[in-house]
Amino acid sequence: MRRMTMADLARLAGVSAASVSLALRGSEKISPATRKRIAELAAEHGYVYNRAAAHLRMSRSTMIGMCLHTIVNPTVSAILTSAQRVLADENWSMMIGDSEDDVDRQQSFLASAIETNIAGLVLSPAAGTTEAHLRMVQERVPLVLASRSVVDADIDTVRIDFPAGVRLAMAHLADLGHRRIGWIGRSAETGTRPEGHVHYVRIMAELGVTPPPEWTEFCHPNRESGYLAMKRMLAAVPDLTAVLCFSDLLAIGAQRAAHEAGRIPGRDLSIMGFDDIDEARFATPPLTTVHIDYDALGETAVRLLLARIEEPDAPRQVVEMAPRLLIRDSTAPA
């Protein structure tokens, strides 16, 4: 018969493994009623708490894991830098993984990180991550999702209010008189910003416009993809007056394609970005965009994780980062 583990006992008690550990050590962070219930379940099922092993684990748990869907994108780099700064100030070390937006690579890192006895984990999940992928992590260590969320996952999350950001961008373009507005970004099926295109279509409907398929280009969020998407779009819809790019990297690539086509951004064609990476200020022309405070996002995610480590049974928290419109020179009246 398989020996009961702490994770098994946690499932029976309906709490996290960290809460079971605290309860069996008599921690006052766990309510007396919960401590009593866990002790009774442990006795009933023959679970023996190994204090020596627990002490050894605790003595090594000064490491926080951070798994990101990429480290190339400047927005994610900002999250990583701010998170690392907070952890250094709090005397924590960091173990970093890059899943390259691949679920299998992500799961391999998560398993390795748990084996090294990390104290907690911040995850920017790869596209396609499900609640089932995260279950084994939740059972072992405190977990916080950053930037991207996962459907049906009951996990502390710091996310971006993408719908509000799209509405800010579209309202700006509409106020300038634009109605022939294109979209460049990832699709709901392949991306992790599914609200984006949905809200673009919805807001266009509010403006009395049903965008035809050629007004939309789905692609990966990088400069080359934005460049190629803009070339295709201008060839198919030469009288387009504005484009919302759901990433500054896409918008910077799109601007180059517009220049090559003789359509000067901010004069002949309005190009709108999203994220406000540093490069956006130095684009030609400087890019109108939606600002997201990725530094604050990284700091918030780490502080949320440290709080969860201290209070494993605290209510779940979801923090939403509010967007802000930044008007520069790449948009103009229709």
Q: Nearest 5°: phi and psi at 99?
A: -80, -10
What confidence score (pLDDT) does residue 59 get? 53
Query: What is the pairing mode between strands 156-160 and 324-326?
Result: unpaired
pLDDT in tens, 280-322: 999 999 999 999 999 999 999 999 999 999 888 888 999 999 9
Query: Would you put residue 208 in left (φ > 0), alpha (ψ -120 to 50) or beta?
Result: left
- 8 A C-beta contact, residue 279 and residue 288: no
User: Domains of the chain by range and CATH?
Assistant: 6-56 (1.10.260), 62-160+294-321 (3.40.50.2300), 162-292 (3.40.50.2300)
Long-range contacts of 17-23 (CB under 8 A, 24+ apart): 17/139, 17/140, 17/141, 18/141, 18/142, 18/309, 18/312, 19/312, 19/313, 21/54, 22/312
pLDDT of 210 higher than 90? yes
Q: Which residue has the tokens 């398989």?
A: 2
Model confidence at 191, pLDDT cuts 50, 70, 90, reads very low
Q: Residue 226 in 3-state DSSP?
A: helix
HSE value, Cβ hemisphere, 13 Å, CA-based, for 143: 25
Q: How far apart are CA 203 and CA 209, in angstroms?
A: 9
> What is the pTM for the complete model shown?
0.79
Q: Which of 241, 181, 251 shows the shortest CA–CA distance to 211? A: 181
